[in-house]
Amino acid sequence: MSRILTSSAYLKRYFKTLLQLGLLGLLAVLPYTWWWLYQSGDVAVERVVKAQAKGDFALFGSGVSQDFVDYKLRLYAAVKPDITAIGSSRVMQFRAACFRKSFLNMGGVAGNLAVLRSTIDAMLRIHKPEAVILGLDFWWFMPQWEGRPFKEVPPTTGSYTYSWAALQKPWIWLLEGKISPAGLAAPFLPESAGGFRAGRYGIMAQQTDDGFGPDGSWYHSAQISGQQRPPDYQFQDTLKRVRHGVNPFYRARPDQQGPDAEHLDAFAEIWCRLRARGIQTFVFIAPLSERVLAAMREHPEDYPHLFSLRQALLARGIDVLDFTDPRAFASGDCEFIDGFHGGEVTYARILRDMADRWPALLSYVNMERLNAAIRDWKGHAAVRDPRVTALPETDFMQFNCPKRQP
């Protein structure tokens, strides 16, 4: 009996000691993890906004959070642009180089109409721009995507913090192979030996030059340069979504003849808010790739909320341009990032057509830069910028797209 008690006491001491060692190890690791995140810039919103607002070409590509509203509102407050583009990730390819006046891309801040309204309200409390370019996603106008378009949704804040979830990230990335052991030691290393780079904030920006530039637009460097396989290779993932009618390509209900009336009213109310403040508002429907649009046109009855969206908005007095079909403005799949995200050249074409249609936009747009970008980089997803990466664009989708070599 005494032998059993002795063994039990030994096990208790063993596990107690093990627990104490574990806690000591955790206490040692946490400060290093905090320091690693600080040095990488993954949660350095204040530092990156300060650098970008003063004119430094800095990229911000955080792996900790993909909720961009907090970052974008801070950058908006620092820049106070004359003209801004607002919408989902499908407007993030408008670049400041194509504008004559100060421009900030607020793409990625709106996943539905309720969030669009709350973000615009937050922006207007900070600063009133002269003009707004508003990009629409057709799925915003169906209840299956978001059932309450008039719902009050406060904009998110505090996404980039040293939370417990954030402090776990570097170790999770190490286990997943997203960073190497040398990458975990990056704060000790010089840039030439794999240390963190100046002008890059966040692990995505540090590793592959993916991230937001000073104008708020996004750079897809890893994909277009061939460093990483495209998540939507040959648009297979998007086409699968269309085939199965899933996010965000939900099919309309049998009784649905077009965009939902309540959602149209919700957008009309947002549009009226902007116009009532004296803000010039230019609205467009964002494009789809040729292959994806062709797949949807095989069953047009499933997508009346797309194919009749422009007419429904016009009926409410909202002037809107429909760029759903890239062939209508001389773009194509070689200029797309994935099945429903056009690249920088696609959006240069869109901006040029908008300026041709709406003369009021001409005073903001640099037509010479637009024409040069379209002429020189036809068939590319991006205009080469050595400040971002020295790597050339590849035929990353393997669509037999001709790409310029250095």
pLDDT digits (tens, 9 = 90+) for 201-233: 999 999 999 999 999 999 999 999 999 999 999
What is the rounded distance in angstroms from the CA atom of residue 35 to the CA atom of residue 189?
14
What is the rounded distance in angstroms from the CA atom of residue 295 to the CA atom of residue 204?
33
Whether residue 307 is contained in a domain is answered as: yes
The pLDDT of residue 175 = 84
What is the rounded distance in angstroms from the CA atom of residue 378 to the CA atom of residue 380?
6
Whether residue 82 is contained in a domain is answered as: yes
Are 113 and 263 in contact by the 8 Å Cβ rule? The answer is yes
What is the rounded distance in angstroms from the CA atom of residue 88 to the CA atom of residue 104?
14
Q: Cα-flanking dihedrals φ and ψ of residue 152, to 5°?
A: -80, 115
pLDDT band at 351 (very low <50, low <70, confident <90, very high): very high
Share of the chain above pLDDT 70, in %: 92
Number of domains in the chain: 1
Token pair belonging to 125: 């409390």
CB burial of residue 211 (10 Å; 0-12, 13-18, 19+)? buried
Name the β-bridge partners of 341: 338
Whether residue 172 is contained in a domain is answered as: no
> For 307-333, what is each residue's pLDDT tens digit?
999 999 999 999 999 999 999 999 999
Whether residue 286 is contained in a domain is answered as: yes
Whether residue 42 is contained in a domain is answered as: no
Domain span at residue 297 reads 66-159+229-376
Whether residue 330 is contained in a domain is answered as: yes
For 26-45, give one letter per residue: b (16+ CB within 10 A) or e: eeeeeeebeebbeebbbbbb
Which pTM value belongs to this model?
0.91
CATH number at residue 96: 3.40.50.1110
> For 118-135, what is each residue's pLDDT tens digit?
999 999 999 999 999 999
Q: Which of the pair, 368 or 33, is modelled with greater confidence?
A: 368
Whether residue 89 is contained in a domain is answered as: yes
Whether residue 385 is contained in a domain is answered as: no
